[in-house]
Amino acid sequence: MDIVIFSGRIQYLFGELIISIQTQLSKELVHAYKETIYEVTTIPAMVLKVGQTSSRLIALHEQHQAPSSAFITAWNPYSDRMSDEENTKRQDKLIASIKERELPYYLGEGKDPSGEWPGEASILILGISLDEAKELGNEWGQNAIIWTGADGVPQLILLK
């Protein structure tokens, strides 16, 4: 899949089909999200990459009878850096809200491969729909989330 960005509009090219998405995010930030390493704390750890099928994630979906999952953080809302203490409080509240929903989840971390941005504690939530995941991402002030359907291909979902 090729991603083409024209002054705030991202177009996904699939042969002749072009899907356009308006975004307020810079192309550099979208690129950073796309290149991030999304690590899930399973044994052994599982690494998710946007656009790359994960057979381990498919197996995890099957194990939990979950048709989909989302990788979400509460850290650094709208990419504004907060203190580790504040971020940890926010992440704890996010996890508590997932426990209340009784959805299975695994801890994780989003890591910038260049090391320019510090890692962000995250969670992989199993059995969450795309609409629910988007709502949760917006609730916690995120610019984007990672959502994966039954095909096991993590997708970058822009919220802004």
Task: Give pLDDT tens digits for 4-24.
Answer: 444 444 445 444 444 446 778
Nearest Cα to 152, choosing from 64, 62, 73, 72? 62
Nearest 5°: the CA angle 95, 101, 103 is 75
pTM, two decimal places = 0.85
Q: Has residue 74 been placed in a domain?
A: yes
**What is the reported pLDDT for 24?**
84
**What is the reported pLDDT for 21?**
60
Q: Has residue 134 been placed in a domain?
A: yes
User: Helix H segments across the chain?
Assistant: 27-35, 55-63, 84-101, 130-139
* Domain that residue 136 falls in: 35-158
Instruction: Pull the structure tokens for residue 103.
Output: 């959805």
The total of structural domains in the chain comes to 1
What letter does residue 129 receive in the DSSP assignment? -
**What is the reported pLDDT for 34?**
93
Omega of the bond leading into 44 within 30 degrees of 0 (cis): yes
- Position 76: which residue type? N
Q: Has residue 104 been placed in a domain?
A: yes
Rounded distance between C-alpha atoms, residue 73 and residue 87, angstroms = 9
Rounded distance between C-alpha atoms, residue 4 and residue 121, angstroms = 29
Instruction: Pull the structure tokens for residue 13.
Output: 């090219």
Nearest Cα to 136, choosing from 110, 112, 88, 100? 100
Q: Has residue 77 been placed in a domain?
A: yes
Q: Has residue 152 been placed in a domain?
A: yes
Q: Has residue 30 been placed in a domain?
A: no
pLDDT in tens, 84-132: 999 999 999 999 999 999 999 999 999 999 988 899 999 999 999 999 9
Q: Has residue 8 been placed in a domain?
A: no
Q: Has residue 18 been placed in a domain?
A: no
